[in-house]
Amino acid sequence: MPNPDLRGRVGAPAIFILLLLLLTAALPAEAADTVTVDVGAVYASNEGTSIDPALGTIRTKLRSMFNYTSYRMLDRKRRTLSVGETGEFELPGGRSMRATPLPAQGDKVRLSIRISEGPKNLLTTTLGLRRGGMVLVGGPPHQTGVLILIISAE
Amino acid sequence: MDCGTALGKIIAKADGLLPRQEEAELAEHLAGCPSCAADDAATVATGPVLRALAGIRAKEKAPALDAMWTRVRAGIEESRGTRRRASWIARWAWIPAAIALAASALLFYPARTNRSPFHPTSFDVAFEDVESDASTVALVDKGEDLPRVIWIIEDAKS
């Protein structure tokens, strides 16, 4: 038979601990020495005229920059990385991207990016952008169109 | 009626199970048999004696029973009080839990909506170096309000 007295004694501290955990989990979520790298893989082609709503405000910009009629988000991955820590992102078509945040000042983010396809190194670059900034990497062929990577860092 | 039958009927009468007609026959036998009459008298007297004995024992045990009942009642009251406190906690426990959920929603929700789908705040990008071992790479800059692009040309396919 459960002990009601014991239940009462355990309930209040358990709720308090839950509250404490929630608050402590929320506060350091955006620590300054970490960078959240967000990579979206978009398939651009001339098959159809649909534009994926998941692309958000970037949809109109893609249409004005490129000549493709259809843009579809194939995959999106997000990793929070410490400075010097390398995160690997699997990309469609057997490609992969490695991102490493480098030391930066203020609201700037420096990212070392390496995109490869098997043993082939497609791109090695170091980007400097503001937190919340974005850059596109496009061109690798995919099915009948191309792959455009949307890389943003916060 | 013989004495053996009469004894069975004496017991049945004491238990209140003897029909009236048989009771009359028994009375007739008892009137003529002093031995059975004595058995009947003894049997009739047994009930009051047992009741008296039980009364005496109950009186002897009454203080102990009262004390025990007092303890039992106190225990029941204490248990009720504890249950009331526990049920109060159980009834209102959802309030801090709801506050915690609301607080976490407020803390996390704006950040999450900002991230999905894409809502960039800046396209100001500096390229420190751009290299490729297997492709031709082009930097495309169509203006400040448009994203900067690194275009990879693999085997002149795109």
Q: What is the pLDDT of residue B53?
A: 83
Chain A residues lying within 8 Å of B124, measured CB to CB: 129-130, 133
pLDDT digits (tens, 9 = 90+) for B31-72: 989 988 988 888 888 877 887 888 888 888 888 888 889 999
B139 and chain A: CB distance < 8 Å anywhere?
no
Residues of chain B numbered 1-30 and touching chain A (CB < 8 Å): none
Is the pLDDT at B17 greater than 80? The verdict is yes
Give me the pLDDT at residue A30, please. 46
Cβ contacts from A onto B, under 8 A: 175
| Bigger pLDDT: A49 vs B89 | A49
Summarised one tens digit per residue, pLDDT across range A83-118 is 999 999 999 988 999 999 999 888 889 999 999 988
pLDDT band at B158 (very low <50, low <70, confident <90, very high): low
B82–chain A Cβ distance below 8 A for any pair: yes
Closest CB to A56: pick one of B100, B117, B145.
B117
For chain A, what percent of residues have pLDDT higher than 70? 79
Q: Do A133 and B99 touch (CB under 8 A)?
A: no
- The mean pLDDT of A36-50, rounded to a whole number, is 91
The pLDDT of residue A122 is: 86
**What span, in angstroms and rounded, lies between the C-alpha atoms of A102 and B129?**
14
Which pLDDT score, from 0 to 100, does residue B109 have? 55
More confident residue, A29 or B33: B33
What does the pLDDT average to over A122-128?
89
User: In A, which residues are within 8 Å of B131 by CB distance?
Assistant: 123-125
ipTM here: 0.73
Domain ranges within chain A, ordered by starting residue: 1-30, 31-153
